[in-house]
Amino acid sequence: MKQSIAKKPGKYTTIPGRKIGKNNLLLKLQDGKYLLLMVLPAVVFYILFKYVPMWGVLISFQRYSPFKGFWGSPWVGLQQFEIFFSSPFWWRSVRNTLLLSLYSTFWSFPAPILFALILNDVKNYKFKKLAQTISYMPHFLSTVVVVGLFYMFLSPNTGPVQKLIVAMGGTKSDLFAQAKYFRTLFISSGIWQSTGWGAIIYLAALTNIDPTLYESATIDGANKFQQLIYITIPSIIPTIVIMLLLRLGHILGVGFEKAFLLQNDANHDTSDVLETLVYRTGIAGGNYSYGTAIGLMTSVVNLCLLFIFNGISRKISETSLW
Amino acid sequence: MVTSKKITVWSVIRTLFLIFIIVSILYPFLYMISISLSSNHHVIKNDITFYPKGLQFDVYKIILSNNKLFIAYKNTINYTVVGTAISLFFTSIAAYALSKKNRLPFYGFINTLIVASMFFSGGMIPAYLTVVNMLGLYDNIWAVVIPSCIGTSNLIIMRTFFSQFPAEIEESGRIDGLNDIGVLWYLVLPTSTAILATMGLFYAVGQWNAFFTPLIYLKSQDKYPLQIILRQIVLRGQMEETAILYSAGGNIIPEDSVKYATIVVAIAPIIAVYPWLQKYFVKGVMIGSLKG
Dist CA A204 CA A132 (whole Å): 13
| B173 shares its domain with B89 | yes
Distance from CA of A4 to the nearest CA of B (A): 6
| B98 shares its domain with B190 | yes
Domain-terminating residue out of A61, A76, A106: A61
ipTM for the complex shown: 0.89
Can you give the CATH number for the domain in which A250 is found?
1.10.3720.10
Phi, psi of A75 (to 5 degrees): -85, 135
| B2 shares its domain with B64 | no
| B282 shares its domain with B140 | yes
| B63 shares its domain with B48 | no
Q: DSSP states of B183-206 as a string?
A: IIIIIIGGG-HHHHHHHHHHHHHH
Candidates B17, B41, B125: best to mutate against A (most CBs of A within 10 A) is B125
- CB spacing of B274 vs A59 below 8 angstroms: no
Amino acid at A183: R
Distance from CA of A207 to the nearest CA of B (A): 12
Convert A189-220 to b/e letters by CB count within 10 Å (16 or more is b).
bbbbbbbbbbbbbbbbbbeeeeeeebeebeee
- Which chain B residues are Cβ-neighbours of A42 within 8 angstroms? 90-91, 93-94, 110, 114, 150, 155
Which pLDDT score is estimated for B6? 66
Which pLDDT score is estimated for B292? 38
Helix axes A143-153, A182-207, angle to 10 degrees: 120
Q: Which of A153, A292, A306 sits opposite B125 (nearest CB)?
A: A292
Interface contacts A/B by beta carbons within 8 Å? 271
pTM: 0.88
Amino acid at B199: M
Which pLDDT score is estimated for A10? 45
Candidates A152, A153, A251, A292: best to mutate against B (most CBs of B within 10 A) is A152
In a domain, A164, yes or no: yes
| A33 shares its domain with A127 | no
| B41 shares its domain with B90 | no
Say which residues have a Cβ less than 8 Å from residue A6's Cβ, sequence separation at least 6.
A12, A13, A18, A19, A20, B102, B103
Dist CA B219 CA B234 (whole Å): 20
| B71 shares its domain with B89 | yes
Q: DSSP states of chain B as a string?
A: -GGGGS--HHHHHHHHHHHHHHHHHHHHHHHHHHHHHS-HHHHHHT--SSS-SS---HHHHHHHT-HHHHHHHHHHHHHHHHHHHHHHHHHHHHHHHHH-TTTSTTHHHHHHHHHHTTT----HHHHHHIIIIIS---SSHHHHHSTTS--HHHHHHHHHHHHTS-HHHHHHHHHTT--HHHIIIIIIGGG-HHHHHHHHHHHHHHHHH--HHHHHH---GGG--HHHHHIIIIIS---TTTT-SB-TTSPBPPHHHHHHHHHHHHHHHHHHHHHHHHHHHHHHHHHHHHT-
CA-atom Rg of chain A in angstroms: 26
Which pLDDT score is estimated for B1? 44
| A206 shares its domain with A276 | yes
Say which residues have a Cβ less than 8 Å from residue B286's Cβ, sequence separation at least 6.
A200, A204
| A91 shares its domain with A230 | yes
| A213 shares its domain with A297 | yes
Q: Please indicate if any CB of chain B lies within 8 Å of the CB of A177.
A: no
Which pLDDT score is estimated for B243? 53
- CB spacing of B18 vs A122 below 8 angstroms: yes
Q: Please indicate if any CB of chain B lies within 8 Å of the CB of A143.
A: yes
| B2 shares its domain with B136 | no
Q: Please indicate if any CB of chain B lies within 8 Å of the CB of A38.
A: yes
In a domain, A66, yes or no: no
Candidates B4, B38, B129: best to mutate against A (most CBs of A within 10 A) is B129
Dist CA B170 CA B99 (whole Å): 12
Candidates A45, A223, A245, A321: best to mutate against B (most CBs of B within 10 A) is A45
- Which residues 229-288 in chain A show a CB within 8 A of chain B? 242, 249, 256-257, 261, 275, 278-279, 282-283, 288
Which pLDDT score is estimated for A156? 83
| A172 shares its domain with A121 | yes
| A178 shares its domain with A119 | yes
**Cβ distance A165 to A157 under 8 Å?**
no
Domain-terminating residue out of A13, A28, A61: A61
CA-atom Rg of chain B in angstroms: 24
- Which chain A residues are Cβ-neighbours of B113 within 8 angstroms? 43, 46-47, 51
Spell out, as residue ranges, where chain B has pLDDT lower than 70.
1-6, 239-251, 277, 282-292
In 3D space, the residue among B44, B240, B36, B72 whose CA is nearest the CA of residue B144 turns out to be B72
Q: Which residues are registered as beta bridge partners of A75? A: A62
Which pLDDT score is estimated for A8? 46
Segments forming the whole domain that contains residue A300 = 85-317
Q: Which residues are registered as beta bridge partners of B246? A: B252
Domain count, chain A: 2
| A91 shares its domain with A215 | yes
- CB spacing of A160 vs B49 below 8 angstroms: yes
- CB spacing of A122 vs B270 below 8 angstroms: no
Dist CA A159 CA A153 (whole Å): 4
Chain B residue at shortest CA distance from A281? B125
- CB spacing of B123 vs A200 below 8 angstroms: no
Dist CA A73 CA A63 (whole Å): 6
Q: Please indicate if any CB of chain B lies within 8 Å of the CB of A159.
A: no
Q: Please indicate if any CB of chain B lies within 8 Å of the CB of A191.
A: no
Number of neighbouring beta carbons within 10 Å of residue B44: 15
| A176 shares its domain with A312 | yes
| B98 shares its domain with B220 | yes
| A265 shares its domain with A153 | yes
In a domain, A303, yes or no: yes
Q: Which of B31, B150, B211 sits opposite A45 (nearest CB)?
A: B150
Which pLDDT score is estimated for B45? 76
- CB spacing of B125 vs A192 below 8 angstroms: no
Which pLDDT score is estimated for A19? 53
- CB spacing of B133 vs A66 below 8 angstroms: yes
Dist CA B93 CA B88 (whole Å): 9
Amino acid at A54: M
| A218 shares its domain with A295 | yes
In a domain, A79, yes or no: no
Chain B residue at shortest CA distance from A286? B125
Which pLDDT score is estimated for A4? 44
Which pLDDT score is estimated for B245? 54
Domain count, chain B: 2
In a domain, A70, yes or no: no
| B133 shares its domain with B277 | yes
Convert A304-320 to b/e letters by CB count within 10 Å (16 or more is b).
ebbeebbeebeeeeebb
| A313 shares its domain with A240 | yes
Can you give the CATH number for the domain in which B240 is found?
1.10.3720.10
Spell out, as residue ranges, where chain A has pLDDT lower than 50.
1-17
Model confidence pLDDT, tens digit, residues B129-144: 999 989 999 999 999 9
| B122 shares its domain with B18 | no
Tallying the residues shown for chain A, one arrives at 322
| A52 shares its domain with A89 | no
Segments forming the whole domain that contains residue B126 = 58-290
| B219 shares its domain with B158 | yes
User: Tell me, what DSSP letter sits at residue A74?
Assistant: P
In a domain, A322, yes or no: no
Dist CA A151 CA A157 (whole Å): 11
